């Protein structure tokens, strides 16, 4: 299984701007994979939309699914750049740590982080992945996703990241409804001990989530003005970033 996945990755890496199409023979020779094995591999990748076969010359090129993935990556890279000033403003104005995250396959990935002047014992880094049901940013995004994706997450095996992580799926569903009503999610020590966070989805004009902004703070020190004031600041940042993403 692992060898097949590795070979799929090798096939995809074979395509370049100066070599957008490759034949079965070319791929078999270039990657030193038997022709019969390569044929099965290409058939599978074509059936999954990873490759497309040109009927005119029989050669293969990246399929629509790979092109969609490339567009998604480029789009999020632009989002990270656009979000920078707002994350820095949040961190500077509150002294807290601001994050930008995106959702993928049941997980949240932090793609940008700006630390504030308050010391927070927080284990977060760009590229860190955690199950989407635990962090505030993940819940904020899932609250505005379609039922099918929420159901997919509910079918996953849930585990506690800390002793405080909510693993009750019934409570989770109720919380998603609350998040939709108030516009933000909040969690206390469910991802990191002694750390709480508020998360707000970044929405398109069609109310589709494309990421989330969050602020982390120590559970022992509630920010001045309380949760609602902090949530309003995060909402404003998320709204501004969402407007930039479609401009």
What does the DSSP assignment read for 69-122? HHHHHHHHHHHHHHHHHHHHHHHHHHSSEEEEEEEETTEEEEEEEE--SS----
* pTM greater than 0.75 (yes/no): no
C-alpha to C-alpha distance for 134 and 142, rounded to whole angstroms: 11
Give pLDDT, residue 58.
Answer: 92
Apex 125 CA angle, 120 and 129, nearest 5:
120
Task: Write the CATH number for 43.
Answer: 1.10.10.10
Task: Write the CATH number for 203.
Answer: 3.30.450.40
Is 52 in the same domain as 88?
A: no
Instruction: Record the tokens describing residue 43, joined without a space.
Output: 């058939």
For residues 2 and 50, the model is more confident at: 50
Half-sphere exposure of 137 (CA within 13 A, CB side): 28
For residues 4 and 139, the model is more confident at: 139
Is 138 in the same domain as 192?
A: yes
Is 38 in the same domain as 95?
A: no
* pLDDT interval class at 223 (50, 70, 90): low
Q: Which domain, by its residues, includes 47?
A: 2-62
Number of domains comprising the chain:
2
The answer on pLDDT for 246 being more than 60 is no
Is 30 in the same domain as 134?
A: no
Q: How far is CA 93 from the centre of its chain?
A: 26
Give pLDDT, residue 186.
Answer: 97
Is 128 in the same domain as 218?
A: yes
User: What is the β-pairing status of strands 195-203 and 60-62?
Assistant: unpaired
Q: Which of 15-19, 61-65, 235-239 has the highest mean pLDDT?
A: 235-239
Is 11 in the same domain as 106?
A: no
Give pLDDT, residue 55.
Answer: 84
Mean pLDDT of the chain: 88
Report the share of the chain in percent with pLDDT over 90. 56
Mean pLDDT in residue range 103-111: 88
Beta bridge partner(s), residue 23: none
User: Any residues with CB less than 8 A from the CB of 44 and at least 6 apart, and which?
Assistant: none
Mean pLDDT in residue range 91-117: 90
């Amino acid at each position: 299984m692992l060898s097949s996945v590795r070979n799929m990755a090798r096939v995809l890496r074979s395509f370049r701007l100066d070599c957008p199409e490759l034949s079965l023979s070319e791929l078999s020779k270039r990657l030193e994979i038997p022709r019969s094995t390569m044929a099965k591999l290409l058939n599978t990748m074509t059936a999954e939309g990873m490759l497309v076969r040109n009927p005119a010359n029989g050669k293969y090129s990246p399929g629509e699914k790979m092109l969609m993935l490339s567009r998604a990556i480029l789009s999020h890279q632009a989002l990270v750049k656009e979000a920078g000033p707002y994350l820095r403003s949040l961190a500077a104005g509150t002294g807290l740590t601001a994050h930008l995250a995106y959702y993928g396959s049941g997980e949240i990935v932090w793609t940008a982080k700006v630390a504030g002047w308050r010391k927070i014992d927080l284990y977060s880094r760009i590229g860190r992945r955690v199950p989407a049901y635990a962090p505030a940013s993940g819940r904020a995004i899932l609250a505005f996703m379609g039922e099918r994706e929420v159901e997919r997450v509910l079918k996953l095996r849930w585990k506690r990241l800390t002793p405080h992580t909510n693993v009750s799926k019934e409570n989770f569903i109720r919380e998603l409804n609350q998040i939709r009503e108030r516009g933000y999610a909040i969690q206390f020590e469910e991802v990191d001990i002694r750390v709480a966070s508020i998360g707000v989805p970044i929405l398109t004009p069609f109310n589709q989530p494309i990421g989330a902004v969050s602020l982390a703070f120590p559970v022992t020190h509630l920010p001045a003005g309380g949760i609602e004031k902090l949530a309003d600041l995060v909402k404003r940042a998320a709204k501004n970033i969402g407007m930039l993403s479609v401009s």
